């Protein structure tokens, strides 16, 4: 199926076919493949394959902001929010595991052997979620099953698939894109995160208008939102199953052609080559890139632990703030959109207390402080609550995030990515500090609450225009092919640890979720500190992936006209990572620092 499907869906893109004319000279075949990729410009087929998978995972990840209030209304009685946080914690923790494990497997066994597996996991877990129930219930409220346990179980499985998609989508985009379009390609893939989030809200609003507000109808709603996410997953799966192996992995790992080997002589990344390392041209070398000695040499002796540390810490600090603001979206935004303190009865349920909706008239019945005139909770408010949650998120977060993503796609080669990451971290710190300093003066102070909403809009824009996109891009560029997915998975998993940590913090500070509490401002201060630390990590530890353009970087367009290159051009993947100060063994058995000359094209 693989070869036939690859030749049909990917004509002239199979790396083995592109090198067929060079006989046993694998180095020349590799060079021809890379030249073909560089000449392809922005490859839309590659983009669809990478982006479709990431879209489905983003949709499923952020659909939690739509379905959690519905689950709370139908199944979770009481005022506690611990079940919602458990839902988020298991998803994020499983996602971190999926990022690390599948990143390693993608390097160990090849990209192609994993194409589609992560999407199959998402599809299976989606079907499992749709079938969750309490089973048979008797008159005493006893159940044969526990729906909460089943939801957590299937959400954990889904989290594994969601996490697995990160290294695969990013590395597919990086390894199949031309040098010129690489940054724009990966940024465009990440556009699927805010787009997937927006589509989750759109699906929720559509279902809300189609169904009613009874518990049966709201139960249908969350299942509809979850189930519809399987359809784009099936589309993405169709593309993945017929995709050929990454050409870079084929030549640089399976055939073990050194990145700087132009004549097919070298077969190892080591500087010295023994006779055992010189194999017949075209013969595949054993895939042994995970020998501890090689990893130790790359990370410690060559100094690239700094690259892994920098990308990982930037991602952790970013996700601590991003998921702290975004994964408890309904309750946080409800606080911001409310112009005055709210009054609720003591037994108000979680879904209503965190909504900011207290007074309304529905079907001619007046509701005051979330209750009917007889003092009972106004369940009919649930439709208004769910609609308000989704519309607030669209207006405050989704639109701003999409604009930020579009802008960074358009300008990705106009700026140095390392500097841009540092600057946008600093800008976020300034905005978060301003929001912290003014929070008490604006929170529930009549029309002044609009200023707080604007702070959130700016923060959402800067996340997408800066760190949230750039932490996704840079790890896919900087590491060599034989370790790219593994180290990308490590960086992404450490980022998700930041997301898990902030959920634990919120769990232990319950006042953050209270509608009239201003405790969230202290979270804003902690997020600002994280952004400052992120800027420092970016400045000192994140490596360069671009260089300033020169006259040799000018290109001819399709009409034959010479056009100047943008201010910065991407360094080819085969030249990354740039050497750092290395530790070389000294004559006395110790170590001495040595400078390695930076490679240039």
pLDDT tens digits, one per residue of 307-319:
999 999 999 999 9
Assigned domain for 575 exists: no
**Per-residue pLDDT tens over the stretch 185-196:** 999 999 999 999
The DSSP code sequence of 234-298 is HHHHHHHHTPPPPHHHIIIIIS---TT-SSS---SSSSS--GGG---TTPPPP--TT-HHHHHII
Across the range 266-289, mean pLDDT stands at 44
Task: Give the residue, 347 or 421, on which the prediction is more confident.
Answer: 421
Side-chain half-sphere CA neighbours of 478 within 13 A: 31
Residue with tokens 């509701």: 367
Q: Within 13 Å and on the Cβ side, how many CA atoms surround 265? A: 8
Q: Which pair of tokens denotes residue 328?
A: 């408890």
Most confident residue range from 293-297, 335-339, 527-531, 573-577 = 527-531
Q: What would the mean pLDDT of 547-557 be, rounded to a whole number? A: 70
- Looking at residue 6, its pLDDT comes to 54
Residue 158 lies in a domain: yes
Whether pLDDT at 15 is above 70 = no
114 found inside a domain: yes
Confidence band of 359 (pLDDT split at 50, 70, 90): confident
The SS3 call for residue 363 is: coil
Q: Is residue 425 within 8 Å of 532, Cβ to Cβ?
A: yes
End-to-end CA distance of the chain: 39
pLDDT level of residue 272 (50, 70, 90 thresholds) = very low
Q: Report the alpha-carbon distance of residue 98 to residue 493 in Å, rounded.
A: 8
Query: What's the mean pLDDT in 344-364?
Result: 75
pLDDT of 263 higher than 70: no
Given CA atoms 402, 411, 483, 47 in this order, what sign does their dihedral have?
positive
pLDDT confidence bin for 292, thresholds 50/70/90: confident
Q: Torsion-angle region of residue 560: left (phi > 0), alpha (psi -120 to 50) or beta?
A: left
Range with top average pLDDT, 130-144, 293-307, 503-517, 555-569: 293-307
Q: Which residues contact 139 (CB under 8 A, 6 or more apart)?
A: none
Q: Does residue 234 lie within any of the structural domains? A: yes
Beta pairing class for 555-556 and 562-563: antiparallel
> Residue 533 has what pLDDT?
98
User: Which residues are CB-neighbours of 491 under 8 A, at least 6 positions away?
Assistant: 308, 311, 312, 315, 471, 475
268 has pLDDT over 50? no
- Taking a C-beta distance cutoff of 8 angstroms, is the pair 42, 297 a contact? no
Residue 506 placed within a domain: yes
Within a domain: residue 273? no
Per-residue pLDDT, averaged over 330-349, amounts to: 81
Q: Is residue 35 part of a domain?
A: yes
* Cα–Cα separations (whole angstroms), residue 210 to 35, 341, 379: 52, 33, 18
The pLDDT score that the predictor gives to residue 80 is 63
Q: 485 with 475: CB under 8 angstroms?
A: no
Q: How far is it, in rounded angstroms, from Cα 330 to Cα 344?
A: 17
Q: How many CB atoms lie within 10 A of CB 392?
A: 22
Mean pLDDT of the chain: 84
Provide the pLDDT for residue 285: 47
User: Could you read off the pLDDT of 145-182 as tens digits, one per residue?
Assistant: 899 999 999 999 999 999 999 999 999 999 999 999 99
SS (H, E, C) 281-317: CCCCCCCCCCCHHHHHHHHHHCCCHHHHHHHHHHHHH
* 430: pLDDT strictly greater than 80: yes
Q: What angle do CA 547, 559, 570 make, to 5 degrees?
A: 15
Calculate mean pLDDT across residues 428-434: 98
Q: For residue 17, what pLDDT band results from cuts at 50, 70 and 90?
A: low
On whether residue 588 sits in a domain, the answer given is no
pLDDT digits (tens, 9 = 90+) for 513-546: 777 888 889 999 999 999 999 999 999 999 999 9
Residue linked to tokens 């690489």: 182
Tokens representing 139? Answer: 């008159």
| Number of structural domains in the chain | 1
Please give the pLDDT value at position 290.
73
CATH number at residue 17: 1.20.1250.20
Quote the Cα angle for 380-340-512, to 5°. 80
Please name the helix (run of DSSP H) or strand (run of DSSP E) that holds residue 555, with its range, or none. Answer: strand 555-556
Q: Give percent above pLDDT 70 in the chain.
A: 83
**Token output for 573:** 């993947």
pLDDT score recorded for residue 277: 41
At residue 279, does pLDDT exceed 50? no
Residue-level pLDDT at 212:
82
Strands 365-367 and 360-362: antiparallel
Q: Domain range holding 95?
A: 2-252+293-548
């Amino acid at each position: 199926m693989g070869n036939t499907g690859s030749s049909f869906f990917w004509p002239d893109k199979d790396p083995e076919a592109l090198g067929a004319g060079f006989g046993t000279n694998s180095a020349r075949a590799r060079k021809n493949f890379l030249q073909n990729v560089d000449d392809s410009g922005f490859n839309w087929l590659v983009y669809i394959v990478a982006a479709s998978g990431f879209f489905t995972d983003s949709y499923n990840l952020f659909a939690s902001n739509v379905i959690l209030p519905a689950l709370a209304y139908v199944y979770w009685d009481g005022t506690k929010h611990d079940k919602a946080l458990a839902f988020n914690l298991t998803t994020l923790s499983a996602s971190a595991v999926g990022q690390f494990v599948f990143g390693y497997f993608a390097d160990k066994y090849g990209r192609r052997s994993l194409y589609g597996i992560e999407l199959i996991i998402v599809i299976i877990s989606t079907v499992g979620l749709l079938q969750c129930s309490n089973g048979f219930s008797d008159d005493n409220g006893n159940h044969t099953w526990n729906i909460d346990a089943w939801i957590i179980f299937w959400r954990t499985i889904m989290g594994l698939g969601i996490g697995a998609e990160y290294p695969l989508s990013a590395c597919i985009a990086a390894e199949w894109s031309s040098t010129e379009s690489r940054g724009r390609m990966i940024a465009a893939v990440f556009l699927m995160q805010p787009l997937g989030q927006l589509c989750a809200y759109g699906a929720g609003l559509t279902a809300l208008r189609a169904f009613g507000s009874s518990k049966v109808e709201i139960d249908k709603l969350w299942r509809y939102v979850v189930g519809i996410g399987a359809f784009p997953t099936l589309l993405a799966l169709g593309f993945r199953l017929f995709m050929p192996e990454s050409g870079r992995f084929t030549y640089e790992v399976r055939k073990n052609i050194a990145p700087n080997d132009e004549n097919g002589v070298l077969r190892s990344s080591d500087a010295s080559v023994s006779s055992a390392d010189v194999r017949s041209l075209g013969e595949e070398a054993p895939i042994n890139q995970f020998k501890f000695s090689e990893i130790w040499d790359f990370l410690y002796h060559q100094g690239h632990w700094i690259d892994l540390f920098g990308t990982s810490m930037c991602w952790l600090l970013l996700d601590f703030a991003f998921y702290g603001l975004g994964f408890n979206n309904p309750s946080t935004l409800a606080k911001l959109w409310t112009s005055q303190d709210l009054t609720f009865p003591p037994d108000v349920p979680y879904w209503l207390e965190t909504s900011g909706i207290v007074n309304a008239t529905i079907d001619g019945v007046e509701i005051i402080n979330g209750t009917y005139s007889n003092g009972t909770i106004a369940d009919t408010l649930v439709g208004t609550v769910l609609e308000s949650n989704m519309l607030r998120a669209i207006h405050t977060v989704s639109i701003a995030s999409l604009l930020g993503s579009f802008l960074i796609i358009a300008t990705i080669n106009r700026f140095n990515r390392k500097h841009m990451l540092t600057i946008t971290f600093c800008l976020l710190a300034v905005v978060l500090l301003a929001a912290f300093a003014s929070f008490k003066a604006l929170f529930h102070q009549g029309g002044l609450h609009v200023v707080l909403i604007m702070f959130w809009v700016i923060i959402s824009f800067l996340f997408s225009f800066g760190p949230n996109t750039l932490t996704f891009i840079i790890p896919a560029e900087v590491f060599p092919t034989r370790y790219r997915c593994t180290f990308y998975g490590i960086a992404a998993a450490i980022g998700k640890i930041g997301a898990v940590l902030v959920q634990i913090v919120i769990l232990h500070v319950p006042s953050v979720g209270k509608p009239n509490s201003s405790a969230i401002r202290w979270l804003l201060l902690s997020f600002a500190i994280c952004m400052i630390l992120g800027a420092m990590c970016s400045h000192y530890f994140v490596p360069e992936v671009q260089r300033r353009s020169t006259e040799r970087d000018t290109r001819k367009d399709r009409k034959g006209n010479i056009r100047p290159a943008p201010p910065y051009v991407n360094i080819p993947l085969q030249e990354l990572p740039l050497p750092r100060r290395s530790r070389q063994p000294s004559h006395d058995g110790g170590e001495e620092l040595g400078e390695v000359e930076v490679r240039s094209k």
